[in-house]
A and B are shown apart, each in its own frame.
Chain A
């Protein structure tokens, strides 16, 4: 038996995809969901956990002294602890926010930049980790340096060495590209940056849902991620800020819940994550994200990674067979996560997505994926079709996808 088949069987054994699929009520017959990089589906345990909050202990957190308010606070803080542990952070280092975009904005507005500082990012960043730094450049006159990769998405570390110097205040880069699926060398870049006295922020929106993350092991100072891409609800995300940095990073918003004391002519911010969480937080959503972490851990992140690798191998076997396909990103399955961007010669990406939906109920993203600099500068494309896989996708869905694409390429291009 071929080695890859053995690995597939092993992966299938470790992750019972049929059982997993039963947990996701959105996976109705005839629907093939290949858009998890945009937003994942939500399993029943997460939905139930949020409904429990609304039906059993609906109250504000950190304010009331009565029983259900204390329970809401306990559940909310338990969620924080679980989410923090999920990425290897301490509970006081985990700020509960709406999503990665808000988290990256917090870093951009909270770190004290001065004219002459530089920020280093890459050409593969999502707009959320691109535009925020363009704005800091406009407002404060920092130098914004953009490290480029080759067309397959592979970086040369020496380009980071050239860009990072004693003036670099922060290096902010994606862990995994949301277009090319390429894994960026974040650990190596973090070391380079720290050697020059720079801070390091990682946009983990595409990594935290799919692979084990340990912020201490990565060596980063900030790590941003979104709950809605990891089986959690929309409106819940998180930001890790290294504990000893927090007094040097200003909150994005101040107000209720963020202060230790206020007088007529002064205010003093609290320590820990609360200084960043102004107003009533997204309580049900954060509790739901805690349940999503429980869910993912019950499946096992290693099992999820192996399952996605099996799907990726099948994708990389089948997609090159599609007539006229231009597949972006690294050619080797082992160099990429479960994100596959491509175009079909003679067809607009939106038309391909429409055809997949209509012909086979396959849902994929089309367009520029909020990464216009990458599209324009690196791929010279107006947009692309993007399919992405997660724990609930199957090898037969990959085959159906490849078959439908082949038929579209043959008859519509």
Chain B
């Protein structure tokens, strides 16, 4: 699996700003979307780091159509509602919707109900029996909501937790 984290581990992680980006993760994302040549970074330009070692992950697929759908994948959760939400629209196609590296930096290990996996590009929130999975491309899946109203309430709570990671 070539993840953004693999590539990031080979970046300087100095957040020096000399390339014109506020952080190395932003620089990497711009590089992987073809907006920034690596030699704009002083570490790669001077040979301190090897540009050949940077392998960008394949672009994430996004439907580009925001929306909410109600699904029920298994009778084991027949009493509850599963809701899938797509938040991403065209403007997020290049960089994805959530930046899980940033989310991990800000909240990783500090919120007991939140697990962030930058390498997998996803986060998991356990909220009072509901399980919420958020994916880098902007998809959020809420399982075991009591009903549709409860699902939307959990969605708004989850979005607040994840707000800092929106690209």
Contacts and interface: CB of A to CB of B under 8 A. Distances in A.
Contact of A367 (B1, B76, B117, B119): B76
Interface string B99-118: 00000000000000001111
B122 A359 contact: yes
A350 B143 contact: yes
B133 interface: yes
A355 B73 contact: no
Contacts of B76: 367-368, 382-383
Contacts of A348: 131, 143
A359 B73 CA distance: 19
A366 B141 CA distance: 15
Nearest to B100: A411
Contact of A408 (B58, B117, B135, B141): B117
A30 B119 CA distance: 17
Given A355-B133, A360-B1, A411 B119 contact: yes
A403 B2 CA distance: 12
B141 A354 contact: yes
Interface string B129-155: 001010100010101000000000000
B119 A351 contact: no
Contacts, number: 64
Interface residues of A, number: 22
Contact of B133 (A354, A360, A368, A382): A354
Interface in B51-91: 58, 73-77
Which label, helix, strand, loop or mixed, suits the secondary structure of the A interface? helix
Nearest to B3: A359
A30 B1 CA distance: 11
Nearest to B60: A358
B1 A400 contact: yes
A127 to B, nearest CB: 10
B115 A412 contact: yes
Contact of B74 (A358, A366, A403, A411): A366
A117 interface: no
B135 to A, nearest CB: 5
A192 interface: no
Contacts of B75: 367-368
Contact of A358 (B73, B120, B131, B143): B120
Nearest to A366: B74
A223 to B, nearest CB: 28
B12 interface: no
B133 A407 contact: no
Contacts of B133: 351, 354-355, 358
A232 B36 CA distance: 49
Given A351-B124, A367-B75, 8 more contacts: A350-B74, A354-B141, A355-B120, A367-B74, A404-B120, A407-B119, A412-B120, A412-B124
Interface of A: 30, 348, 350-351, 354-355, 358-360, 366-368, 382-383, 400, 403-404, 407-408, 411-413
Interface of B: 1, 3, 58, 73-77, 115-122, 124, 131, 133, 135, 139, 141, 143
